[in-house]
Amino acid sequence: MKKLVIANWKLNPSSLKDAQKLAASISIKAKNKVVLCPPTIYLSNIQYPNIGSQDCFWQEKGAFTGQVSPLMLKDLKIKYSLVGHSEKRGVGETDEMINAKAKALLAQKITPVICIGFGTTVEHDDLEVTDILKSQLDIDLGGLDSSKVIVAYEPVWAIGTGHNATPEHAEKISIFVKTKYKVPTVLYGGSVNLGNAKSFLQQTNVGGLLVGGASLNAKDFNQIINM
Ligand code: PGA
């Protein structure tokens, strides 16, 4: 079955030329569905079938210095936007803000990819993890149609560390989010690489992957999207 693989380039690469080169080297005929999320400043200059933003603001327009609105993203034919990434939550983004962003995106028919998992530790057991995720999702999904969003479970301790969660844990969390919140697609993210990607994609309820570091390596990423 076709799964969804989202590339989160974060603050990379450092030039438009390199970003275009990277996008051009990613297969457009992969086995899985692929979305590339380049830095905002490159969004209008990257050619790829599915492009996503790494973030957005919740207002359409006005006096909001430095922000990018879902209305602007829609104008660029952007189809997805991450919201609530741990690297944003870590600098003060709240669940209320994430909820407002998701609602603003849905109003423009852009699919929010709501990232959860900030605040979890490797020592937490499954019940403690689901309690934390519940406290996030109860607010993140408040008052919106959860069948229209994607959730990405990224345990914060696994992001960029080389220490991934187990595929069985990702499967359990995916089942929890799908059943309790009626979210159709739940992705796993956090140190996904060429060596472990398949084990996550093989899980029945893991709908795909959110890939950071490994998405900057075209050779590795092309293999991951074809698993
Ligand atoms: P990583 O990042 O794959 O480099 O761990 C994932 C993410 O933060 O989305």
Q: With a 6 A CB cut-off, is 192 part of the ligand 1 pocket?
A: yes
Which residue of the set 87, 93, 154, 171 is catalytic? 154
pLDDT digits (tens, 9 = 90+) for 15-73: 999 999 999 999 999 999 999 999 999 999 999 999 999 999 999 999 999 999 999 99
Q: Which is nearest to 9 in space by CA: 56, 50, 57, 52? A: 52
CB-CB contact of 171 with 201 (8 Å): no
Q: With a 6 A CB cut-off, is 90 part of the ligand 1 pocket?
A: no
The stretch 188-200 carries a mean pLDDT of 98
pLDDT class of 146 with cuts at 50, 70, 90: very high
Which residue of the set 85, 87, 93, 171 is catalytic? 85
In angstroms, rounded to a whole number, what is the distance separating the alpha carbons of residues 118 and 74? 28
Give the chain as a DSSP string.
---EEEEE--S--SSHHHHHHHHHTS-SS-SSEEEEE--GGGGGG---SSBEES---SSSSSS-TT---HHHHHHTT--EEEES-HHHHTTT--HHHHHHHHHHHHHTT-EEEEEE-TT--TT--HHHHHHHHHHHHHHHTTTS-GGG-EEEE--GGGTTTS-PPPHHHHHHHHHHHHHHH--SEEEEESS--TTTHHHHHTSTT--EEEESGGGG-HHHHHHHTT-
Q: Is the pLDDT of residue 1 over 90?
A: no
Pick the CATH number of 4-11+54-215 from 3.20.20.70, 3.90.1150.10, 3.40.640.10, 3.40.50.2300: 3.20.20.70
pLDDT digits (tens, 9 = 90+) for 119-144: 999 999 999 999 999 999 999 999 99
pLDDT of residue 44: 97
pLDDT digits (tens, 9 = 90+) for 74-113: 999 999 999 999 999 999 999 999 999 999 999 999 999 9
What is the percentage of the chain residues whose pLDDT exceeds 90?
A: 100
Between the alpha carbon of residue 125 and those of residues 98, 116, 132, the distances in Å are 25, 16, 11
CA of 192 to the centre of ligand 1 (A): 7
pLDDT of residue 132: 98
pTM, full prediction: 0.98
Question: In 165-178, which positions are buried (b, 16+ CB within 10 angstroms) versus exposed (e)?
Answer: bebebbbbbbebbb
Instruction: Specify the residue for token string 């690469």.
Output: 13
- Is position 163 annotated as part of the catalytic site? no
**Mean pLDDT for the chain overall:** 98
Q: Is the pLDDT of residue 150 over 90?
A: yes
In angstroms, rounded to a whole number, what is the distance separating the alpha carbons of residues 216 and 221? 7
CB-CB contact of 212 with 159 (8 Å): yes
- Is position 124 annotated as part of the catalytic site? no
